[in-house]
Amino acid sequence: MEKLSRKLISWASLIDDKTLEQARTTATMPFIHPHLALMPDAHLGKGATVGSVIPTLGAIIPAAVGVDIGCGMIAVRTQFTRAQLESRDLSRLRNQIERAVPTSAGGQNRKIVATAEPRIAELEDLAAEAEFDPASYAGHWRHQLGSLGSGNHFIEVSVDEADRVWMFLHSGSRGIGNKIAMHHIKVATRLNKQWWIELPDPDLAYLVEGTDEFTAYIRQLRWAQHFALLNREEMMDRVARQVSEVMGEDVVEAERINCHHNFTQSEEHFGKTVWVSRKGAIQADEGRPGLIPGSMGTASYVVTGKGDPVSLNSSPHGAGRQYSRSKARKTFTRDQLREAMVGIEYRDTDAFIDEIPQAYKPIDQVMADAAPLVEIRHTLRQLVNVKGD
């Protein structure tokens, strides 16, 4: 841990100057209390740094929550062993998962399946309570539930240090969450201009607690966060069905963890009730289970929070990018990706070059930096990897 200023504390041993500058700028906002906490996976983001924990008094910066509201991880430990899994056709399993879960940007379901119906009904009721119509943002939002997306979103079948099989996936609130986020970022920008507020960065536009605009954002944010959680549950149920079919028996869940890493909620810290925006960070209260994925082809971790108060009970959410997607495509090759993915069943395509492990910080270093924040319970190594283009 390093105290960079009165309002900025960092756990990142690997960080570039632009990211540091962005974090310093965000930390100057007058309503930050007590300080911004920079996680080990911190890297440049829109408005605020990805991998930062931003506690605010009486205001929220929508861009500091992130445009994939509620993005996070879910993992399920099964009764199967590595030997049992590897005795099956892993390419068949990957193909079945890819058929069961729509992937890629814009991917959605052709029909609403039985498992999605009660989840959609729950979201319809929640939207009515929040006094908004999700269809005003995306008319097809119901068909997005149970879809993965692209970029660093993934589905994996992995094994832990005891050779127990886990199902593990990463996704968020899809297109509907993005549209909600972008709308409220624009509202905050308009209001800040209307109020003649000078910002150090236009993307740090904020909403003030007590206004109608703030209330609308919080209601819709919470809806999108719940959509993201249910989206992961729906996909996990589908993955479990495919694993059951390939293994010849139903999955028996020994453990299930579902956690956000792009979200805001009200919490008590340092004697104040603050809005804590975790943009690329997970909540790590003492004893709280959490999930920290590595990059494609590397390890992921099941962790327990240590409740470090200076970090605002937080920890990193993953490896954190070191190369932009465009720079990664210019720097690395498909052969290098193949080398990184030896022993892992995945779809061999140029589309994933920008997800190569070398484009990210080494997850081992990120976890070493995070040692004061979380305890590692399990280390997962993937055997099957599913991603969208």
Q: Which residues are CB-contacts of 364 (< 8 A; sequence separation ≥ 6)? A: 299
CA neighbor of 10 nearest in space, from 42, 41, 38:
38
State the DSSP string of 358-380: GGB--HHHHHHHTTTTEEEEEEE
List 171's β-bridge partners, or say none: 72
- Give the integer Cα–Cα distance in Å for 315 and 285: 9
64-76 CB burial, b ≥16 within 10 A, e <16: bbbbbbbbbbbbb
Strand-pair partners of 77? 166, 255
The SS3 assignment for 285 reads coil
Active site (annotated) includes residue 317: yes
C-beta neighbour count of 308 within 10 angstroms: 20
Active site residues: 317
